[in-house]
């Protein structure tokens, strides 16, 4: 599968920007985006954070991680679905086309995608 097709599989346009499907692993040794993973709901961005899944700490860590990875302000990233699940939907506010290009470029630059 090409990087652009893969980017399309985990991301969809929303009125305020893009929504990305993410599979989160809390209590990891480090905060990192590890590529892609197949889930029952489809392909998802695989993310790990050190934070524990209590009081929204892991979700907040995920928002910071995605913002840094995509190079967007932290205030433009929000978990909008799956708050208590490992499979989450993260909204990134901004220009939809530009965000989709950024996501595809990041995925293309990762090994194994």
pTM attached to this predicted model: 0.89
Closest CA to 98 of 18, 7, 8: 18
Instruction: Output the pLDDT for position 59.
Output: 97
Out of 8-17, 44-53, 63-72, 92-101, which region has the weakest mean confidence (pLDDT)?
8-17
Note whether 46 and 106 are within 8 A (CB): no
pLDDT value, residue 39: 92
User: Would you call 101 helix, strand, or coil by DSSP?
Assistant: helix
- Using CA atoms, how far residue 9 sits from 3, 5, 12, 55, 100, in Å, is 10, 6, 8, 30, 11
Query: Strand 17-25 relative to strand 42-48: parallel, antiparallel, unpaired?
Result: parallel
- Helix, coil or strand: residue 93: strand
Q: How many CB atoms lie within 10 A of CB 107?
A: 21
Output b/e per residue, 20-38; b: 16+ Cβ within 10 A.
bbbbbebebeebebeebbe
pLDDT at 113 (0 to 100): 44
Full set of structural domains in the chain with CATH = 3-108 (3.30.1200.10)
Q: What pLDDT does 5 receive?
A: 45
pLDDT tens digit string along 18-43?
999 999 999 999 999 999 999 999 99
């Amino acid at each position: 599968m090409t990087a652009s097709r893969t980017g399309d599989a985990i991301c969809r346009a929303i009125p305020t920007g893009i929504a990305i499907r993410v599979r989160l692993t809390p209590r990891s040794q480090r905060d990192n985006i590890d590529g892609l993973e197949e889930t029952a709901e489809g392909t998802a961005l695989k993310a790990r954070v050190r934070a524990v899944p209590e009081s929204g700490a892991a979700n907040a860590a995920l928002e910071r991680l995605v913002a840094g990875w995509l190079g967007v302000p932290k205030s433009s990233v929000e978990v909008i679905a799956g708050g208590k699940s490992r499979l989450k939907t993260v909204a990134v506010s901004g220009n939809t086309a530009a965000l989709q290009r950024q996501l595809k470029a990041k995925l293309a630059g990762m090994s194994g995608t």
